[in-house]
Amino acid sequence: MLTTESERADVAREVELMKTLNGRNPHVVTLHGAFEDHESVQLVLELCSGGELFDRIIEKKSYSEKDAASVVRQMLEVVAVCHLNGIIHRDLKPENFLFDSEQENANLKVTDFGLSTFFKAGQRFTDVVGSAYYIAPEVLQRGYGPECDVWSVGIIMYIVLCGKPPFYGRTESAVFNSIMKSKAQLEQNFKKEPWSKMSAGSKKLIKQMLNPDPRGRITAAQALASPWISIDGVAPSIPLDISVVSAMKEFTGYSKLKQLALRHMAEALDEDELRELRSQFAMMDVDGDGVLTLDEMITALRKMEQGEGRTPISEEEILEIVESLDYDGDGQIDYMEFVTAAMHIGQKQRGDKDKWKGQVQRAFSSIDKDGNGMITAEELQAELTALGETKESIAELIKEHDTDGDGVISFEEFSNILRARAASRTRSRAASGKFDSKSSRGSRGSRR
């Protein structure tokens, strides 16, 4: 079947992807080897004799939220590891999850990386691939990134809990129309049975995973910190969140005024919003002393492995991040310094708009000491001087963000500082527009 160079490249990429993931997570099917002769290419995969996900669910006489949480946790661990290694799966569906044995406690394994690809931070793809029920709305709009994998797991979680997909249609186009109206559709669905019997935690997580705005969608690592995921009392192994790493790298490019604004914003967050960042900090803080040393940062950030077109984060870059985050200059990163740089500010502002505005107002008020609704150079001087700024540079910082030229920072200008991005998104070169449906592509795995 490999009649063109493009088809050969697809198989070569699939092999490279699986090699990158080998040994990284127990929920990824292992590639033992790839061999080529004059007639074919053979991929030797780990034997998964336990059957497909839904077959196992149907066999069980009863299926609880506890069982569902265990399944979803394993899926999210796979997605988090893929994204950390710069891989987007693009075809997560129940048929591509197999159990490795017939035992009750068998591991769930993801397979079929035929539509998967490597990605770089900020890269957007335009080719529509995947299976109809599980495709994210941004894929249909031809501008998507790794967030689409979280949407697919959210769809599977919904099905695992109630037995049918949230967005349905008799034809492919009808399914797509339903997906594009997903927010209203989901609200309607939750008013029907069996959702009245489901926990509030399960519905909250589904809403977060099926957020139609990918910029506000929860990441896989954040979802793993959800209380519902550990509903059975087993704490999940939360891997390093790629969005946390990206946020910290982006933080080094911000002006000192934006860094200060973010610090006050971080202090305005509530405990619920800090939960996932606390788990990330604890994962990186190996000795548990409440601060991150340079060595701990290097160990954690080097988990970003090198994939095709990717370079691992260098020690110089890590040192730059540490120096940028180290607000008090003690050579270590405490929890609030970490939160300041690592919080997902884009997700916060696209969530509850009123809550976001309230947090920004509290952050603004904590700098606006006299409460006159304006931040002056004098009010900034004490904190920014500690960051190495002079009176002259503080005046320049105000000028940079003072859009109306009145010499002070208003609440609106302060809000704009928090909204501004440090770098523009890069566009994917992919533009084939080819749709690969379930009917034209079966799932690939080693089955008995």
Which pLDDT tens digit goes with each residue over 54-84? 888 877 755 788 888 989 999 999 999 899 8
- pLDDT greater than 60 at residue 136: yes
CATH number reported for the structural domain that contains residue 74 in this entry: 1.10.510.10
pLDDT > 90 in the chain, percent: 29
Q: How confident is the model at residue 445 (pLDDT cuts 50, 70, 90)?
A: very low
Counting the structural domains of the chain, the total is 2
| pLDDT of res. 233 | 60
What totals of helices (H) and strands (E) does the chain contain, helices first? 20, 10
| pLDDT of res. 281 | 85
Q: Which of 234, 70, 89 is nearest to 157 (CA)?
A: 70
Q: Is 150 helix (H, G, I), strand (E, B) or coil?
A: helix
Instruction: Write the pLDDT tens digit of every residue in 198-226.
Output: 899 999 999 999 999 998 899 998 898 88
Is the residue at 98 inside a domain? Answer: yes
Instruction: Write the pLDDT tens digit of every residue in 357-413.
Output: 888 888 888 888 888 888 888 888 877 876 677 888 888 888 888 888 888 888 888
- pLDDT greater than 60 at residue 107: yes
Q: How confident is the model at residue 351 (pLDDT cuts 50, 70, 90)?
A: low
H-helix or E-strand spanning residue 118: strand 117-118
Question: What is the token pair recorded at 251?
Answer: 């933080």
Which of 10, 37, 91, 295 is catalytic? The answer is 91
Listing DSSP states for 56-82 in one string gives: HHHHSS---HHHHHHHHHHHHHHHHHH
Lowest model confidence (mean pLDDT) among 137-146, 212-221, 239-248: 239-248
DSSP 387: T
The question of whether 10 is a catalytic residue gets the answer no
Q: Is 412 helix (H, G, I), strand (E, B) or coil?
A: helix
Distance between CA 186 and CA 195 in Å, rounded? 11
Question: What is the token pair recorded at 15?
Answer: 């092999």
CATH number reported for the structural domain that contains residue 391 in this entry: 1.10.238.10
Distance between CA 238 and CA 160 in Å, rounded? 22
Distance between CA 413 and CA 368 in Å, rounded? 13
Is the residue at 123 inside a domain? Answer: yes
Q: Which of 202-216, 221-235, 409-423, 430-444 has the highest mean pLDDT?
A: 202-216
pTM of the model: 0.71
| pLDDT of res. 88 | 95
Instruction: Among 201, 224, 247, identify where a domain stops.
Output: 224
| pLDDT of res. 442 | 38
| pLDDT of res. 424 | 32
Instruction: Among 203, 224, 245, identify where a domain stops.
Output: 224
User: Is the separation of the CB atoms in 321 and 293 below 8 Å?
Assistant: no
Is the residue at 133 inside a domain? Answer: yes
Q: Are residues 72 and 212 both part of a single domain?
A: yes
Instruction: Write the pLDDT tens digit of every residue in 158-189.
Output: 998 988 899 988 889 999 999 999 888 898 99
Is the residue at 260 inside a domain? Answer: no
Is the residue at 176 inside a domain? Answer: yes
User: Cα dihedral sign for 204, 205, 211, 217?
Assistant: positive
Q: Is 146 exposed, middle or buried (0-12, 13-18, 19+ CB in 10 A)?
A: buried
- pLDDT greater than 80 at residue 314: no
Q: Are residues 65 and 207 both part of a single domain?
A: yes
Is the residue at 28 inside a domain? Answer: no
pLDDT > 70 in the chain, percent: 86
Q: Are residues 364 and 216 both part of a single domain?
A: no
Is the residue at 333 inside a domain? Answer: no
- pLDDT greater than 60 at residue 117: yes
158: containing domain: 50-224
